[in-house]
Amino acid sequence: MVKLMINIIGATGKIKNIDIFLKKISNIAQENNTIIQVFNADLIYGKKHITSAVEHAKRAMIRKTNTTNTIEMEILLYASGDRQLKNAISKMGVKKGNANIAFFIENKSDEIEEIILKELLLKRDDKILKGDVNTLKKFGITDDEIATVSKAKYGHIILEKVAMVDIIK
């Protein structure tokens, strides 16, 4: 049995056309029999944010409580902390222009990372995944919510939003 590798990477680059960018990702995923989900990294608060979204999405698919038809879209839904796919796409989807991009990749080898970066003309930069108070604000967390936790626990606020999707579905 082949063990699947899970990778979460950050990258920077310029997106000239969203549809072409997403089509290239879809083609890479199909050609390599892998799952790839892409996010606007400006709203990602660390790798745990994506990992939690993936775990919740997989659980929803197994339990048949999923809202969307694909694991990729279900992951995006949870990562956004919203139950409406339209809102999740507008919030967490990649944007045209100079972009910080986060990828979730589940594959049999890590060569896929190089393929993605080369094909999309991106530069790997995992530092963009770190997150800070500005990430929380862009995500829609209020100053009052931020004030309820210490700086060391900022990431927990996002993880709560991810988990809340199960409740608000």
Q: In this predicted model, what pLDDT tens digit does every residue of 106-146 receive, in sequence order?
A: 987 778 899 999 999 999 999 999 999 999 999 999 999 99
Q: At what angle do helices 71-80 and 154-168 cross, to 10 degrees?
A: 120
Full-model pTM: 0.92
Which candidate, 104, 101, 99, places its Cα nearest to that of 78? Answer: 104
Q: In this predicted model, what pLDDT tens digit does every residue of 41-75 receive, in sequence order?
A: 999 999 999 999 999 999 999 999 999 999 999 99
Confidence (pLDDT) at 3: 63
Confidence (pLDDT) at 1: 52
Domain ranges, ordered by start, for the chain:
5-168
Question: Could you name the CATH architecture of 5-168?
Answer: 2-Layer Sandwich (3.30)
Which candidate, 72, 60, 90, 9, places its Cα nearest to that of 165? Answer: 60
